[in-house]
Amino acid sequence: MECVNGTRANSSHTGCESIPVTSMEWDNVWVIISVILTCSGVIITCLIGGLFYWHKETPIIMASGKELSFVLLGGVLMSYISTFVFVAHPTPFICGATRFLLGVSYTVCYAAILVKTNRIYRVFNIHTSKPKKVKFISAKSQLLITFGIVSVEIAALTSWLIFDQPEVIHEYPTRADNVRVCEDSRDYAYLGALVYPIFLMIVCVYYAVKTRKTPDGFNETRYVAFGSYSFFVLWIAFTSIYFSVENHTIRVVALCFASTINATVTLITLFITKAYVVLFRPQKNTRENVMSRRRTHSYDTVNNHLTNLSRMASAGEYSREITFYL
């Protein structure tokens, strides 16, 4: 007897019966590992957030831009939490949340990095002997700009959800399977949510390179570059795995690992190193160390920038975060 997809012959072979619907295999070892790593990441992120808040007035934390650092930590936390949505039982709401969180979490991270590196670039890129006031470098301005950048992604994803509502479909990998999945998981739809974050990441790399000669306490060039490189490598690997297998569990696990690893790389490169100094090398958490820079051909240029900044600070033209180091 020939049965349609989603059904199978009954025990007496006199008719067809429905195949039980499945979604995620929660007993899969990779799913368990993914969830454990996510929980660990959430805990570590919260601990680092608490550490940064407790030591927010110290030089190394202030040099990193504490307000934007908390925004960035929020993006990292969203990336970790996304895993719980990815492995949830597919419903139209879960499918929409997956699409939304995937794009917004990366946008929050790279928007914060972009605004931070752009501020440092504008502050230290003073080429005239007469100091000029640099606009929009206060904490409030930086947060508003970040919110504006993130709002673009939120508006785009919201419109996408309204005009192309997520749906749940059934897959039949074998005659004995009936798997409930999000329709977006069958094509390249999820990658659409990453177009804007990728653009932000490219701009971040540009500003990171432009600020590579700033004082060490402000210089995160190698960390931003490494994080961006990791982003590309991981998502190329993810795309290769995601669209080359039919097993729904493997596809979801690949998505979870890509998001978790990217969040972990950001956490290690931009926060763990500073947390280490705060906890175990307090003698390096000083204004002098933050403002230090190895002597290069641009050493005098940097000193001239700092002199100009000092003049402007005396005139009350800089935010507290900048004047703290002058």
Instruction: Report the pLDDT value the prediction gives residue 312, as an integer from 0 to 100.
Output: 46
Which contiguous run of DSSP H or E holds residue 253?
helix 248-267
Closest of 48, 41, 25, 72 to residue 259, by C-alpha: 41
Mean pLDDT is lowest, of 37-46, 57-66, 109-118, 137-146, for: 57-66
**In this predicted structure, what is the pLDDT of residue 125?**
65
Which range has highest mean pLDDT (172-181, 270-279, 292-301)?
270-279
Lowest pLDDT segment from 136-150, 166-180, 280-294:
280-294
- Average pLDDT of the segment spanning 45-59: 90
The whole-number pLDDT of residue 246 equals 75
Give the burial class of 200: count Cβ atoms within 10 A of its Cβ; 0-12 exposed, 13-18 middle, 19 or more buried.
buried
pLDDT at position 8 is 78
> Which of 248, 208, 245 is CA-nearest to residue 228?
208
Mean confidence (pLDDT) of the chain:
79
pTM value is 0.79
Under CATH, what is the fold of the domain 7-17+27-323? Rhopdopsin 7-helix transmembrane proteins (1.20.1070)
Question: What would the pLDDT profile of 197-235 be if each residue is shown by its tens digit?
Answer: 989 988 888 887 777 666 555 556 667 777 777 777 777
pLDDT for the residue 290? 63
Q: Is the pLDDT of residue 250 over 60?
A: yes
Task: Give the pLDDT band (50/70/90) at residue 314.
Answer: very low
Q: Is-contact 185 168, C-beta < 8 A?
A: no
What pLDDT does 37 receive?
93
DSSP SS3 for 22: strand
